[in-house]
Amino acid sequence: MHTRIRAWAQLVRVPNTLTACADVLAGFSIAVGPWFASDGIAVSLLLMCSASVCFYWAGMVLNDVHDIEADRIQRRKGPLVDGRIDIQTAAIAGWMLLFTGILLAGVSSYLLPDPSNASTRNPSKWLVVGIGSLLAMVIAAYDSRLKATIFGPLLMGMCRGLNLLLGISLGWCLFWPSDSDWIVIAVAVFGHVGFVMGITLAARRESLVDQSSTRLAIAWMISVLGIVAISVCPLWARGPLWARDRALRLDPRSLYPILIGLLMVPWLRRAVLSVRDPGVRTLIPAIKQAILSIIFLDAAIALQFAGSTPGMIVCGLAIPTLTLARVFRMT
C-alpha cells in the first residue's frame, strides 16, 4: 500500500500541489479583500482549494498518460513508464479528477453566505462552475496533441490564470467588481499566464542534455513580463469597492513592486545561469525555483489585497512544498 501511494504521489507531482491552493487564496484576496476573520467562508475556501488540487492532479496525470510513449523512448523515470500504475487506470483517474474539481467548485460557491450588502450585484453562482468547466477544458486541450504545438505553453499559462480566476470568481459571489477592479483582475491573471507560459516553454525539452540559450532566454523573458504585470496590478485598485477596509497594505508604486522583485531574485539568478550555461544541470533548478516562486508571488498578492494574516497563510504553504520536494520530484 505504501508503495502504491508513493507511486500516485509521484504521478501527480505532489510537491507542487499547494501552488494551486496559493492561486485560489490569492485570487479570493483580490476579489474580497481582508477575509481571514469573515464568518462562513472557511468551508467554501477549503472546498475551492480542494477543487483546484483536483484540477492540478488531473492535469499531471493526463499529461503523463499522453506522454507515455515519448517517456518510454527517452527512458524517463515514472510510475507509468515502469508499470507501477496502469495507464488505463491513470486515464480514468485523471478524468474523474477533472469532473470532481468542477463539482467541488460549484459546491464551494453555493455554501458561501449571501452578501450582507443587499445592493451588491451578485452574479449567478453558476459562473464559478463555468470557470471551473473552462479550466477543465483547457487542461484537456493541453494534455492532447496541442501540447507539442506553439499553443502548448499558452495553454499551460491559461491553466494557471484560470486557477487564479477560480478564487476570484468565488469572491464575485460576495462582491461584484467595480470598473477599476476589472483592470486589476485582468492584469493579475495576465501576469500568472505569462509567468507560467515562460516556465512551460523553458521546460519543454528539460530532459535534453543540450539546451538552446535562445529558447531559454525568450522563455524567461516571457516569465519576467508576467512578474512585471503582477507587480503593477494594484495600481488600478481604485473605486468605492475599496472603501470596505480594502486599503492596500504596501505602496503600489514602490514597496509592493520592490517586494515582488526581492522575492524573485533567487529564481532570476538561476534563470540567468541556465541561459549562460544551458544544460539539464542548470535548467532543472531554475524550473523548480520558478514553481516554488508561484507561492511567494501569491503570498505577496494576498498580503497586498487582504492583509498580513492571509499573506502569511499563503507563504506558509512553501514549508510543506519544500518538505515534499525532498522526497518527490517537482517536474
pLDDT at site 241: 40
C-alpha distances (whole Å) from 120 to each of 108, 116, 131, 172, 177 are 20, 8, 21, 10, 10
Q: Which residue matches cell numbers 493541453?
A: 142
| Residues whose CB falls within 8 Å of the CB of residue 181, separated by 6 or more in sequence, listed in order | 31, 236, 237, 239, 241
Distance separating alpha carbons of residues 196 and 160, to the nearest angstrom: 7
Distance separating alpha carbons of residues 172 and 127, to the nearest angstrom: 9
Distance separating alpha carbons of residues 109 and 51, to the nearest angstrom: 11
Do residues 148 and 180 make contact, with C-beta atoms less than 8 angstroms apart?
A: no
pLDDT at site 239: 45
The torsion defined by the Cα of 6, 45, 47 and 192, in degrees rounded to 10, comes to -60
Distance separating alpha carbons of residues 71 and 85, to the nearest angstrom: 14
- For 257, the grid coordinates are 513592486
End-to-end CA distance of the chain: 24
Do residues 143 and 63 make contact, with C-beta atoms less than 8 angstroms apart?
A: yes
Diameter of the chain by CA atoms? 61
Which ranges in the chain belong to alpha helices (H)? Answer: 2-11, 17-32, 42-66, 68-74, 87-110, 126-142, 152-172, 179-202, 213-232, 255-276, 280-306, 308-316, 318-325
Q: What are φ and ψ of residue 154, in 5° steps?
A: -65, -45
Per the CATH hierarchy, to which homologous superfamily does domain 15-325 belong?
UbiA prenyltransferase (1.10.357.140)
- For 85, the grid coordinates are 500504475
Domain ranges of the chain: 15-325
Distance separating alpha carbons of residues 198 and 291, to the nearest angstrom: 11
The torsion defined by the Cα of 4, 5, 9 and 10, in degrees rounded to 10, comes to -20
Q: What are φ and ψ of residue 152, in 5° steps?
A: -55, -55
- For 139, the grid coordinates are 487542461
Do residues 32 and 39 make contact, with C-beta atoms less than 8 angstroms apart?
A: no
Distance separating alpha carbons of residues 271 and 95, to the nearest angstrom: 34
pLDDT at site 161: 97
Do residues 36 and 309 make contact, with C-beta atoms less than 8 angstroms apart?
A: yes
The torsion defined by the Cα of 120, 124, 129 and 133, in degrees rounded to 10, comes to -110
- pLDDT tens for the chain, 331 residues long, are 578 889 999 999 999 999 999 999 999 999 988 887 677 789 999 999 999 999 999 999 999 999 888 878 777 788 898 889 999 999 999 999 999 999 999 999 988 877 655 444 555 678 999 999 999 999 999 999 999 899 999 999 999 999 999 999 999 888 777 777 899 999 999 999 999 999 999 988 766 556 688 899 999 999 999 999 999 999 887 643 444 445 567 888 899 999 999 999 999 999 999 999 888 888 999 999 999 999 999 999 999 999 889 999 999 999 999 999 888 888 7
Distance separating alpha carbons of residues 221 and 95, to the nearest angstrom: 34
Burial of 60 by CB count in 10 Å (0-12 exposed, 13-18 middle, 19+ buried)?
Answer: buried
